[in-house]
């Protein structure tokens, strides 16, 4: 476990793995998806990056990493594209995008807000491949 999750808060790893397994099993069994991907990716952030998560439905961001506020966005296995829409009116200095692919493999990219493209609106649509390049 230490090799796969080197920074992990070890108590969270079994919960993360069980939720991911339940989501996958439900999908295989029913062809549908459970509404738990947001929780799964927030746990991923806590495990892989040591993000201290806020209470559910806290306004502004999803957690803290040191002095930085972190916004967590999800690319789910049923999404047709690999992009996310980031609300720029939220208070965050880092963006964590976590992708769960169709095989339920999970990967994440943590990007400083200052490296995101400047846009003139309240939202930014950005593709996973673009995030890889600016990470």
Domains of the chain with CATH codes? 10-134 (3.40.1350)
Helices (H), 2-127: 13-30, 37-49
Give the H/E segment covering residue 72: strand 68-75
106 CB-contact burial (10 Å; exposed 0-12 / middle 13-18 / buried 19+): buried
Tell whether the model's pLDDT for residue 60 goes beyond 80.
no
pTM here is 0.91
d(CA 27, CA 105): 14
Closest C-alpha to 72, from 38, 48, 31, 36: 38
Quick one: pLDDT band at residue 53, thresholds 50, 70, 90? very high
In eight-state DSSP terms, residue 48 is: H
How does the average pLDDT of the chain come out, rounded?
91
Q: What tens digit of pLDDT does each residue of 66-89 get?
A: 999 999 999 999 998 999 999 999
Which is more confident, 134 or 26? 26
pLDDT-above-90 percentage for the chain: 78
Q: What tens digit of pLDDT does each residue of 86-104 get?
A: 999 999 999 999 999 999 9
Q: What pLDDT does residue 38 have?
A: 93
């Amino acid at each position: 476990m230490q090799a796969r999750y080197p920074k992990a808060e070890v108590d969270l790893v079994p919960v993360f793995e069980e939720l991911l397994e339940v989501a996958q099993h439900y999908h295989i069994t029913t062809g549908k998806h459970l509404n738990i991907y947001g929780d799964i990716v927030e746990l991923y952030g806590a495990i892989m990056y040591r993000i201290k998560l806020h209470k559910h439905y806290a306004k502004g961001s999803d957690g803290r990493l040191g002095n930085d506020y972190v916004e967590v966005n999800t690319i789910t296995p049923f999404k047709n594209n690999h992009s996310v829409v980031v609300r720029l009116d939220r208070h965050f200095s880092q963006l964590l995008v976590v992708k769960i692919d169709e095989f339920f493999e999970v990967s994440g990219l943590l990007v400083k807000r200052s490296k995101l493209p400047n846009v003139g609106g309240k939202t930014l649509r950005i593709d996973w491949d673009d995030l890889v390049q600016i990470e």
